[in-house]
Amino acid sequence: MRVFIFMLINLGLAFGLGACAPKTPDTKPAPPASENANAAKTWKLDGAQSSLEFISVKNGAIIETHSFTNLSGAVLADGGAVVLIKLDSVQTNIDIRNERMKKYLFETDKLQNIMVKTQINLSKLSALPMGHRAEMDIPVTISMHGKTDTIDVPMIITHLSENTVVVDSRSPVILDADTFGYGPGIDKLQELAKLNSIAHDIPVMFSLVFAQE
């Protein structure tokens, strides 16, 4: 789970080309005011167009895909990026399983969000032309269930249009549920569902769309 969400944010910032450009020497004319205004704008996550999915494997062979439907986030002109995932928006397509995950796994009565943060080096991304894509590994810090971990996430960043950037996971990001204290919750779900096993390694995939206002 830890992987996928905050890489996307990095892409958004990368395309504020004005913000990424080196400082203009005093001997040269300053960029037009319109360019400076554009660079200062925030890139916001389009939650309706974005997706975040994770996979569960039960009894060693049964694979099911779940998602979170409430995502928000932004990338600021200084390269700071944050993404919030609302835990009570988990969707497994089975109502009782949704409720069990909220109660026993995510404990949404006490914890409401997963937070993903990163800092983008805009100078490395500013040269990506419109319509092109780039692959990169970006370190992201994931905070969930009272635990924090930093990992490198492999992403594909696409400069889709002048004001739109899409960040996709290059491959599933494997999160260790035990790292974030989710082991007992998974064991409880296994007991309730009368399963032989539920894997603690969780593949996560994402596609994040950032739009500049």
- Please state the domain extents for the chain: 7-20+33-212
Q: Report d(CA 211, CA 13) in Å as an integer.
A: 10
**Residues near 9 by beta carbon (within 8 Å), at least 6 away in sequence:** 43, 45, 73, 74, 75, 81, 82, 83, 116, 118, 120, 167, 208, 210
Who wins on pLDDT, 51 or 2? 51
- Predicted confidence (pLDDT) per residue in 33-72, tens digit: 434 444 456 789 999 999 999 999 999 999 999 999 999 9
Q: What is the pLDDT of residue 31?
A: 44
Where on the phi/psi map is residue 35: left (φ > 0), alpha (ψ -120 to 50), or beta?
A: alpha
Residue 201 clears pLDDT 90, i.e. is over it: yes
Lowest average pLDDT, out of 8-22, 54-68, 106-120, 153-167, goes to 8-22
Q: What is the pLDDT of residue 122?
A: 57
Q: Report d(CA 89, CA 68) in Å as an integer.
A: 5
Q: Report d(CA 109, CA 88) in Å as an integer.
A: 9
Residue 195 clears pLDDT 90, i.e. is over it: yes
Tell whether domain 7-20+33-212 is in CATH 3.20.20.80: no
Helix boundaries (H) for 64-182: 95-100
The two tokens of residue 64 are 């099911």
